[in-house]
A and B are shown apart, each in its own frame.
Chain A
Amino acid sequence: MPVVDLAETTKRDLNAQLHALPADTNATHWTVENSEGQHALAVGLDVPITVEINGHAGYYCAGMNKQATVVVDGNVGVGVAENMLSGKVHVKGDASQSAGATAHGGLLVIDGDASARCGISMKGVDIVVKGSIGAMSAFMAQSGNLVVLGDAGDALGDSIYEARLYVRGTVKSLGADCIEKELRDEHKADLRRLLDAAGLDETVSVADFRRYGSARGLYNFHVDNSSAY
């Protein structure tokens, strides 16, 4: 099981080694030491391996991830798992802004808080934040699910399309065209699936969540809505 010490190996070498792995590699578990907040760690992976980063990571950690599981035992900077296509990214600390931005698929789990613009323009990813999320989260979110066990900041879901937002705590304010919606059985089942995937057991009850989504009032331009854009 390879261990890469970034005090000795450069980040580019680490990423190059990970990119060179064949699909049937036996080196399925990698450990990265001394990350010290470096940017672009474990980006662009496309093999079913696990990469554990022991420490804080900088910007765009696990960006464009496909198939791989990336676990960060620390905090991450801006844009963790941005544009992820599949696989799983698990942050054990907090995430900075734009976590899961534009991601198409896969699962992003953040044990701590995520700051502003979490899930901005998300396009199919599932995001589970065990803490709270900052302002302007799920801005223009198109599809996928954002689950928040804590609170949401200002302007949640501004100009949202078809993503589903589930928040257990308080929502400071909703953005333009984002409304609370009924939590029906199908949503409860889907929410349970997401909580299970994030390793949360029945002590986290789906009944405690509220669902938010698009009022679909801004889909087409209407002059009466002009002040809402």
Chain B
Amino acid sequence: MCGIVGLFLKNSTLEPRFGELLAEMLVVMTGRGPDSAGFAVYGSGENGRIKLTVRGDDLDSIVADLGGDISGFIRDTHLVLTLPERDEQRVRDWLAASRPDLAVTGAGERIELYKEVGLPADVAKRFGLAGMSGTHGIGHTRMATESAVTTAGAHPFSTGTDQCLVHNGSLSNHRSLRRMLEPKGIRFSTDNDSEVAAGYLSWKLQEGATLAEALEASLDDLDGFFTFVVGTESGFAVLRDPVSCKPAVMAETDDYVAFGSEYRALAGLPGIQNARVFEPEPARVYAWERN
């Protein structure tokens, strides 16, 4: 099961409403995944500075402990640090050494990535999703079938700067892919197969592929069932495996592109009555880039 959603705005006047729209889409998908939920939002950013989303408890003192030109704000169990790009490695090293209990869920100029166990409506509320503005983002509601209900197992996964992925399905060659990717410097923090898919795309992007090219290549290298919705700083893409067991529906208007596991998730979007509603074809990459 699991539900996935994605929203990519073309019309900037909708940006202040981004979180509200994504939250509604996410909550409608509760039936497909009531165990946990997560989402990534591409919001504001500052050139030369990077945002690290850090998940865990006892977050209050971290900004002070780190010192330097670092600011941060807390949303429930997540802390978003904003720091100069050059300090990223120092901060990551400090977190690994001093606070190994914390996990970095996302990093990038604009991405913030939140995930937690619980009903999607509760998760969205705890993090204040409805109040967030953004240009694009993705979300996931999880029904765990083969592994424990943990926050680490919740989506989205981010394995590269300003990159994120949600996955509905299961991969069967994720162990061998992991063994191929780790020596290439792709870091994984869970045993989850979906994180390997994210890592695969990060590797391809690192090698110079466009998002569409990276997804195209995944059709040859990934074995299993998948519908992916992927975000980068400027891009948004969807891919289904050639058999396409996992559901997908999309809507496009002059104002946005939206993805849902089911049409219900899209039913509340503005102007949906006149949107072009279509089912993405198997093994075909759908990608959009911000101008």
- A58 near B282 with CB under 8 A, answer no
- B264 near A38 with CB under 8 A, answer yes
- B244 near A94 with CB under 8 A, answer no
For A96, list chain B residues within 8 Å (CB).
247, 249, 279
- Say yes or no: A75-B277 contact (C-beta < 8 A), given A36-B267, A58-B262: yes
* Contact of B73 with A by CB under 8 A: no
- Say yes or no: A36-B281 contact (C-beta < 8 A), given A78-B247, A96-B249, A97-B244: no
For B277, list chain A residues within 8 Å (CB).
56, 75, 93-94
Across the interface, name the chain B residue whose C-beta is closest to A93. B277
Of A58, A116, A153, the residue contacting B263 (CB under 8 A) is A58
Tell me how far the C-beta of B24 lies from the nearest C-beta in chain A, rounded to whole angstroms.
12
* Contact of A37 with B by CB under 8 A: yes
- B266 near A37 with CB under 8 A, answer yes
Tally A residues with Cβ within 8 Å of B.
Answer: 20
Tell me how far the C-beta of B246 lies from the nearest C-beta in chain A, rounded to whole angstroms.
10
Tell me how far the C-beta of A61 lies from the nearest C-beta in chain B, rounded to whole angstroms.
11
- A115 near B279 with CB under 8 A, answer yes
* Contact of A77 with B by CB under 8 A: yes
For B278, list chain A residues within 8 Å (CB).
94
Rounded to whole angstroms, the CA-CA distance of A134 and B242 in the bound complex is: 11
- SS of B interface (majority): loop
For B247, list chain A residues within 8 Å (CB).
77-78, 96-97
B238-251 interface mask toward A, CB cutoff 8 Å, 1 = contact, 0 = none? 00001110010100
Q: Give the residue among A38, A116, A134 with the most B Cβ atoms within 10 A.
A: A116
Across the interface, name the chain A residue whose C-beta is closest to B240. A116
Across the interface, name the chain A residue whose C-beta is closest to B244. A116
- Say yes or no: A58-B264 contact (C-beta < 8 A), given A77-B247, A78-B247, A116-B244: yes
Tell me how far the C-beta of A164 lies from the nearest C-beta in chain B, rounded to whole angstroms.
25
Rounded to whole angstroms, the CA-CA distance of A93 and B249 in the bound complex is: 13
Rounded to whole angstroms, the CA-CA distance of A32 and B282 in the bound complex is: 32
Mark out the residues of chain A between 36 and 89 whose CB falls within 8 Å of any chain B CB in the assembled complex.
36-39, 56, 58-59, 75, 77-78
For B263, list chain A residues within 8 Å (CB).
36-37, 56, 58, 75, 77
Across the interface, name the chain A residue whose C-beta is closest to B266. A37
* Contact of A125 with B by CB under 8 A: no
Q: Give the residue among B266, B279, B281 with the most A Cβ atoms within 10 A.
A: B279
Rounded to whole angstroms, the CA-CA distance of A56 and B272 in the bound complex is: 11
* Contact of A129 with B by CB under 8 A: no
- A94 near B279 with CB under 8 A, answer yes
A140-158 interface mask toward B, CB cutoff 8 Å, 1 = contact, 0 = none? 0000000000000100000
* Contact of A135 with B by CB under 8 A: yes
Rounded to whole angstroms, the CA-CA distance of A134 and B243 in the bound complex is: 10
Tell me how far the C-beta of A118 lies from the nearest C-beta in chain B, rounded to whole angstroms.
12
Tell me how far the C-beta of B285 lies from the nearest C-beta in chain A, rounded to whole angstroms.
16
Across the interface, name the chain B residue whose C-beta is closest to A117. B244
Across the interface, name the chain A residue whose C-beta is closest to B277. A75
Rounded to whole angstroms, the CA-CA distance of A75 and B263 in the bound complex is: 9
For A36, list chain B residues within 8 Å (CB).
263-264, 267
Mark out the residues of chain B between 224 and 277 whose CB falls within 8 Å of any chain A CB in the assembled complex.
242-244, 247, 249, 262-264, 266-267, 277
For A39, list chain B residues within 8 Å (CB).
262, 264
Rounded to whole angstroms, the CA-CA distance of A94 and B277 in the bound complex is: 9
Q: Which residues of B does A touch, CB under 8 Å?
A: 242-244, 247, 249, 262-264, 266-267, 277-279, 281-282
Additional 20 contacts, C-beta under 8 A, given A77-B247, A97-B247? A36-B263, A36-B267, A37-B262, A37-B266, A37-B267, A38-B264, A39-B264, A58-B262, A75-B263, A75-B277, A78-B247, A93-B277, A94-B279, A96-B247, A96-B249, A115-B279, A116-B244, A116-B282, A134-B244, A136-B243
What are 15 A-B pairs with beta-carbon distances under 8 A? A37-B262, A37-B264, A37-B266, A39-B262, A56-B263, A58-B262, A77-B247, A94-B277, A94-B278, A96-B249, A115-B281, A116-B243, A116-B244, A134-B244, A134-B282
Q: What 9 pairs between A and B have smallest CB-CB spacing?
A: A37-B263, A36-B267, A37-B264, A115-B279, A56-B263, A37-B267, A96-B279, A116-B244, A75-B277
